[in-house]
Amino acid sequence: MSQPINLAIVGTGIFATDNHLPTIQKIPGLKPYAAYNRTKSKAETFAEKANIASDKVYDSLEEIFEDKDVEFVDALLPVQFNVDAVKLAVKNNKPICFEKPIAANLDQAKEIVKLSESTDLPILVLENWAYLKAIDILKNEILPKIGDVVAFTYNATGPFNDANKYLATGWRLKPEHIGGFLSDGGVHQLALLTEVLGDVESVSGLTQQLKEQSGTDDVLFSTLKTAKGAIGTFTYGSAFGATDKSTFFKIFGTNGSATYDWSPSLPKPQITYATGATSGQASSKTTIEIDEVNTIEEEFKNFKDAVANKDKKLVKVPPRKAFHHLAIVAAALESSKNNGSNVKVETP
Binding residues for a second copy (CB under 8 A): 146-147, 150-151, 153, 155, 157-163, 202-208, 210, 219, 221-223, 225, 231-233, 235, 237, 240-244, 250, 252-257, 274-283, 285, 335, 338-342
Is residue 290 within 8 Å of 271, Cβ to Cβ? yes
Q: Which is nearer to a second copy, 1 or 163 (CB)?
A: 163
Nearest approach in angstroms of CB 188 to a second copy is: 19
Nearest approach in angstroms of CB 169 to a second copy is: 18
Cα–Cα distance, 346 to 97 (Å, whole number): 23
Nearest approach in angstroms of CB 281 to a second copy is: 7
Helix, strand counts (H, E) of the chain: 12, 15
Q: Which is nearer to a second copy, 19 or 255 (CB)?
A: 255
Cα–Cα distance, 100 to 79 (Å, whole number): 7
Nearest approach in angstroms of CB 150 to a second copy is: 6
Nearest approach in angstroms of CB 319 to a second copy is: 28
Cα–Cα distance, 223 to 214 (Å, whole number): 23
Q: Which is nearer to a second copy, 116 or 275 (CB)?
A: 275
Q: Which is nearer to a second copy, 4 or 147 (CB)?
A: 147
134: which residues sit within 8 A by CB, 6+ positions away? Answer: 192, 260, 262, 269, 271, 290, 292
Tell me how far the alpha carbon of residue 37 is from its chain's centroid: 22
CA atoms within 13 A on the CB side of 316: 20
